[in-house]
């Protein structure tokens, strides 16, 4: 064993941020020990539990009270342990690079175009320790080693929190973001600087690789951009959304709207579409205010009058329902009035909607229709009151329902006093 100790630390993993020596934690550094500190390192000398000094790059001689050779003798009354504890913490002041961060869950933002959008974000960052003494006392404390992994959660949460804050303040629409990446990054970095500084750290680089909505939303945006509606044609956007809602409704066989859709898209909803489309395509209306509401006039045909050419209506709507509509002046106005008269609104965006609509024509929100429902006499599927057949099991709802067992719900012959299946008595 050497009389004079040599203390140095080289990290091959590039993960260790701070490490305490001697490794066995005996803290018995001898008087005159040589401390070698490399560039991008700082060593903090602890004696008697106190952080006495920090050493920069170079060779340093340490002064402890543990005398070489004699220490064993002195330590005898202390069970072989030195009463003059002295140890050194090496702190890496180089860059801790390629640290990843990202949102755990998508975060909701208000968006001027999409109303509400959920975004997730991820990227990388590089930071370093600039105040080794502060870092050592606040983070390493009395432990043996501290690596970048130990800090990963804290760093990620801090970045996500600040990023959310900045995006919430800056972002008007996600479509503006590509032009603001640098500014958003710099703003996040500036806000994070103090979070890092209080731990003795400095955020050197922050990279945002992506700020994007979830895949489902991206898909919808792609579809929308495919229509070429990105500029400011809000009415056209609403046509898209309405069509989307109707398509979904048509798929839903068991639903209210689905029943109507399956029978030629439903007369009422069919009337609404050409009206909105005509408004979107009418000269001078591009980029105007979106049409109010999305419900058709009750009772079928819209009022007759001049206005939209029939040919144009058919071309745009492409639906049989539009063929019989003809042109009418002020259709949209009346249509809006009727919607407002119903008084129903989308619970999410407050957009006025009419009865029988399953999706909001403005935000696409799916909402429950509050029409009265009755269960199917056979399969118990909820149906609109007055339905003739069950869309699920096909059973005729109008025929006099056969009595069922009060206990096992199986069909009984009319007038049966006992159930033939379970034997339970039946009321008269």
Partner 1 sequence: MAVLDYIIPGYKGYRERTQSRATDRAFRDYLTAKMKEVHDRLEQVKYNITSDLTKISLMNDAENATMLLTKVRDRLRWSNQGFAGNLFGSKTETEAIDAIAEFDKKLEEHREKVFNAIEEIETKFAEGENIKPLFMKLTNSLRALDTHLNDRENLLRKTIG
Instruction: Point out which span in 166-174, 221-229, 276-284, 291-299 binds partner 1 (CB under 8 A).
Output: 166-174
Is position 39 an interface residue for partner 1 (rule: CB under 8 A)?
A: yes
Q: Which of 170, 217, 285, 404 binds partner 1 (CB under 8 A)?
A: 170
- How far is residue 63's CA from residue 31's CA, in Å, rounded to a whole number? 5
Say whether residue 401 binds partner 1 (CB under 8 A): no
DSSP assignment of 270-337, as one string? Answer: HHHHHHHHHHHHSTT-TT-PPPS--PPPTTSSPPP-SSS-HHHHHHHH--HHHHTT---TTHHHHHHH
Q: Which stretch binds partner 1 (CB under 8 A): 182-190, 233-241, 339-347, 371-379?
A: 182-190
Residue of 50, 142, 153, 194 that binds partner 1 (CB under 8 A): 194
Question: Does 178 contact partner 1 by CB under 8 A?
Answer: no
Alpha helices in 88-214 (DSSP H): 132-135, 148-170, 181-197
- Count of chain residues binding partner 1 (CB under 8 A): 19
Among the candidate windows 14-22, 152-160, 180-188, 334-342, which touches partner 1 by CB under 8 A? 180-188
Verify binding: residue 166, partner 1, rule CB under 8 A: yes
**Other C-beta atoms within 10 Å of 264: how many?**
11
Question: Which parts of 126-145 interact with partner 1 (CB under 8 A)?
Answer: 130
Residues 65-124 that bind partner 1 (CB under 8 A): none
Q: Least CB distance from residue 339 to partner 1, whole Å?
A: 38
Distances (CA, A) of 50 to 83, 137, 272: 14, 10, 79
Neighbour-count burial for 71-87, b at 16+ CB within 10 Å, e otherwise: beeebeeeeeebebbbb
Q: Is 190 in the site for partner 1 (CB under 8 A)?
A: yes
Residue 38 touching partner 1 (CB under 8 A): no
Interactions with partner 1, residue window 208-267 (CB under 8 A) = none
Our finding on whether 311 is near partner 1 (CB under 8 A) is no
> In the bound complex, what is the minimum distance in angstroms from residue 164's beta carbon to partner 1?
14
Closest Cα to residue 60, out of 9, 6, 132?
Answer: 6
Looking up tokens 């399969």, which residue turns up?
379
From the CB of residue 32, how many other CB atoms can be counted at a distance below 10 Å?
Answer: 15
Least CB distance from residue 194 to partner 1, whole Å?
7
C-alpha distances (whole Å) from 387 to each of 15, 26, 142, 302, 374 are 69, 85, 75, 26, 9
Q: Name the nearest CA neighbour of 406 among 418, 414, 393, 397.
A: 418
- By C-beta, is 169 or 372 nearer to partner 1? 169
Question: Of the candidates 28, 85, 11, which has an alpha carbon nearest to the alpha carbon of residue 52?
Answer: 85
By CB under 8 A, residue 191 contacts partner 1: yes
4 in contact with partner 1 (CB under 8 A): no
Smaller CB distance to partner 1: residue 196 or 351?
196
Instruction: Select 185 or 314, whichever has its Cβ closest to partner 1.
Output: 185
The binding site for partner 1 (CB under 8 A) comprises 39, 56, 130, 166, 169-170, 180, 182-183, 185-187, 189-191, 193-194, 197, 204
């Amino acid at each position: 064993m050497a009389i004079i100790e040599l203390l140095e630390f080289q990290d091959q993993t590039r993960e260790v941020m701070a490490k305490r020596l001697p490794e066995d934690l005996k803290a018995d550094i001898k008087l005159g020990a040589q401390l070698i500190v490399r560039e991008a390192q700082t060593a903090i000398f602890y004696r008697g539990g106190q952080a006495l000094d920090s050493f920069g790059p170079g060779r340093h001689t340490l002064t402890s009270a543990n005398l070489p050779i004699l220490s064993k003798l002195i330590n005898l009354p202390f069970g072989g342990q030195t009463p003059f504890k002295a140890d050194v913490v090496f702190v890496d002041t180089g860059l801790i690079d390629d640290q990843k961060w990202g949102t755990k869950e998508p975060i909701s933002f208000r968006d001027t175009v999409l109303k509400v959008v959920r975004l997730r974000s991820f990227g990388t960052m590089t930071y370093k320790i600039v105040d080794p003494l502060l870092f050592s006392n606040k983070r390493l404390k009395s432990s043996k080693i501290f690596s970048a992994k130990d800090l990963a959660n804290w760093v990620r949460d801090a970045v996500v929190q600040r990023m959310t804050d900045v995006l919430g303040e800056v972002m008007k629409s996600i479509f503006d973001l590509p032009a603001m990446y640098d500014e958003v990054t710099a703003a996040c970095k500036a806000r994070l600087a103090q979070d890092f500084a209080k731990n003795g750290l400095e955020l050197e680089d922050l990279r945002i690789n992506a700020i994007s909505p979830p895949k489902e939303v991206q898909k919808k945006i792609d579809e929308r951009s495919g229509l070429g509606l990105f500029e400011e044609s809000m009415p056209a956007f609403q046509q898209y959304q309405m069509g989307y809602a109707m398509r979904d409704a048509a798929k839903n066989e068991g639903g209210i709207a689905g029943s109507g859709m399956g029978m030629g898209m439903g007369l009422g909803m069919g009337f609404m579409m050409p009206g909105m489309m005509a408004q979107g395509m009418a000269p001078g209306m591009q980029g105007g205010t979106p049409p109010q509401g999305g419900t058709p006039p009750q009772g079928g045909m819209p009022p007759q009058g001049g206005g939209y050419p029939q040919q144009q209506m058919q071309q745009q709507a492409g639906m049989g329902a539009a063929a019989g509509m003809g042109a009418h002046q002020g259709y949209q106005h009346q249509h809006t009035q009727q919607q407002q008269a119903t008084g129903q609104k989308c619970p999410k965006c407050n957009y006025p909607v009419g009865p029988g609509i399953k999706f909001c024509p403005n935000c696409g929100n799916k909402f429950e229709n509050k029409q009265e429902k009755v269960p199917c006499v056979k399969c118990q599927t909820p149906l609109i009151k007055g339905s003739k057949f069950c869309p699920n099991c096909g059973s005729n709802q109008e025929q006099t329902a056969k009595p069922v067992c009060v206990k096992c719900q199986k069909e009984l012959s009319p007038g049966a006093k006992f159930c033939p299946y379970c034997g339970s008595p039946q009321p008269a």
